[in-house]
Amino acid sequence: MSSSPYLSVIIPAYRQAGTIAADLQRLNDLIKTLVPSYELVLVIDGNEDNTLNNVRRSLSLPNLTIECFDHNQGKGAALRHGLQRSHGEVVAFIDAGNDIDPSFLQIMLAEFKLHHADIVIGSKRHSLSEVDYPWLRRVYSTTYQILNRLLFCLKVRDTQVGLKICRREVLTAVLPRIVVKKFAFDLELLVVANHLGYQRIVEAPVKIKYNFSSTIRLIDIWRTFIDTLAIFYRLRFLHWYDRPLPAASAPVLVSGIDVSIHHEATRVREKIHR
């Protein structure tokens, strides 16, 4: 690209070989109607199901960059790497899969501009949201959000929806400080942003229809709880998030591996042209 785009959309994907090409095409068709310039950055967070080859065979988009880890690193690691490879003034994250309707990005971008927001988050609890998910998940979600309000005093009602828009400045400050790579990544993102003074966090409506057949595993609930307490400990006792960042030129580490020199066998970067 000759100049930086206005919007970068980072799509972390894990085991999405069956739907990823259609998802990206739909997202591309939408985004090009919303902003003057954009890029899509797909980060395949583990290529166990051969997602990479499926995308390469099925799709040809000039604004798409693909990054691929051979092994799953976690959503936080995928997003940090996606940020490294993106160039937009504004950065959006959207989970791969068919759960979240991407058309609500239009509303979120409007809210972003209207409120001069630092972060706009999709929220299941917004009055205009359309959400279809089982009652047990509603109980888990409500309980978790009550816990978060007690621990962190965040003025948001839902931290976990995988659709967010941020100013690049915010992500540059926040992502290098994030420790959680999986279960409570979204919470840590908002906690650290709020702590660093990026407090214009706006909730926007979303449409979600969860496509799953299994229930939440108890081990995942437990790990999320432990990660949440660890965030609280780092914030209140270690003052971890107040530590100065390393030099801007320092590489971002993914699970202890320097991704700037990672062997080609564990990271494949492709840029697809029409």
Among 4, 26, 34, 22, which residue's Cα sits nearest to residue 165?
34
190 vs 215, which has greater pLDDT?
Answer: 190
Question: Above 60 in pLDDT, residue 54?
Answer: yes
pLDDT of residue 136: 83
Question: Above 50 in pLDDT, residue 266?
Answer: no
Q: How confident is the model at residue 147 (pLDDT cuts 50, 70, 90)?
A: very high
User: pLDDT of 250-260, one tens digit each?
Assistant: 434 333 333 33
User: pLDDT of 62-98, one tens digit each?
Assistant: 999 999 998 999 888 899 899 889 999 999 999 998 7
The secondary structure of 106-144, three-state, reads HHHHHHHHHCCCCEEEEECCCCCCEEECCHHHHHHHHHH
Q: How confident is the model at residue 134 (pLDDT cuts 50, 70, 90)?
A: confident
Per the listing, tokens 């999320």 go with 224
- Classify 267 as helix, strand or coil: strand
142 vs 212, which has greater pLDDT?
Answer: 142
**CB contact at 8 A, 126 and 206:** yes
- C-alpha 265: how far from chain center: 25
Kindly give, in sequence order, each residue whose CB lies less than 8 Å from that of residue 212, ignoring residues fewer than 6 positions away: none
CA-to-CA separations, 40 to 168, 185, 257, in angstroms, rounded: 15, 21, 24
pLDDT of residue 133: 78
Question: Above 60 in pLDDT, residue 246?
Answer: yes
pLDDT of residue 217: 80
Q: What is the mean pLDDT of residues 89-112?
A: 95
pLDDT of residue 98: 79
Q: How confident is the model at residue 127 (pLDDT cuts 50, 70, 90)?
A: very high
CA-to-CA separations, 102 to 55, 63, 146, in angstroms, rounded: 19, 17, 27
pLDDT of residue 248: 54
Q: Which of the residue ranges 50-54, 77-81, 254-258, 265-269 would you say has the lowest mean pLDDT?
A: 254-258
Q: Which of the residue ranges 124-133, 146-155, 250-259 would you say has the lowest mean pLDDT?
A: 250-259
Token pair of 41 as six digits: 């950055």
Q: Please give the domain boundaries of the chain with CATH numbers for all domains.
A: 7-271 (3.90.550.10)
Q: How confident is the model at residue 271 (pLDDT cuts 50, 70, 90)?
A: very low
Main-chain phi, psi angles of 65, to 5 degrees: -115, 135
Token pair of 168 as six digits: 């690049």
- Classify 208 as helix, strand or coil: strand
pLDDT of residue 3: 82
Among 189, 207, 231, 209, which residue's Cα sits nearest to residue 129?
207
